[in-house]
Amino acid sequence: MKLGTLVYMLLLLMNGTQKCPDPEDHDYEYHLQGIRIEGATNINNFEFMYESPLPVSFATEHTDCYSKPDTCLMDFSIPVQSFRSSIPAMRNDFLALLKASEYPEIVVAVQKSSFDCIAGGTFIDQLDMIITLAGTKKALHADYSILTGPENRITVSGETKFLLTDFQLEPPEKAMGLVRVLNEVFIKFDIVISTAGIDSNQALH
Q: Are 74 and 115 in contact (CB under 8 A)?
A: yes
Residues 148-156 have a mean pLDDT of: 85
Question: 161 pLDDT band (50/70/90 cuts)?
Answer: very high
Which residue has better confidence, 69 or 167? Answer: 167
Model pLDDT, residue 19: 52
pLDDT at 193 over 50: yes
Which residue has better confidence, 109 or 64? Answer: 109
- 42 phi and psi angles, rounded to 5 deg: -75, -5
Which residue has better confidence, 85 or 200? Answer: 85
Question: 2 pLDDT band (50/70/90 cuts)?
Answer: very low
Domain ranges of the chain: 3-14+28-203
Model pLDDT, residue 200: 37
Q: Are 68 and 94 in contact (CB under 8 A)?
A: no
**Percentage, residues of the chain above pLDDT 70:** 75
Q: Are 126 and 146 in contact (CB under 8 A)?
A: no
3-state secondary structure of 93: helix
pTM of the model: 0.77
- In CATH, the number for domain 3-14+28-203 is 2.40.128.110
Q: CA of 172: how far to CAs of 30, 38, 165, in Å?
A: 35, 15, 11
Under 8 Å CB-to-CB from 36, ≥6 apart: which residues? Answer: 47, 48, 49, 50, 187, 188, 189
Q: What is the pLDDT of residues 23-35, one digit of tens each?
A: 445 667 888 999 9
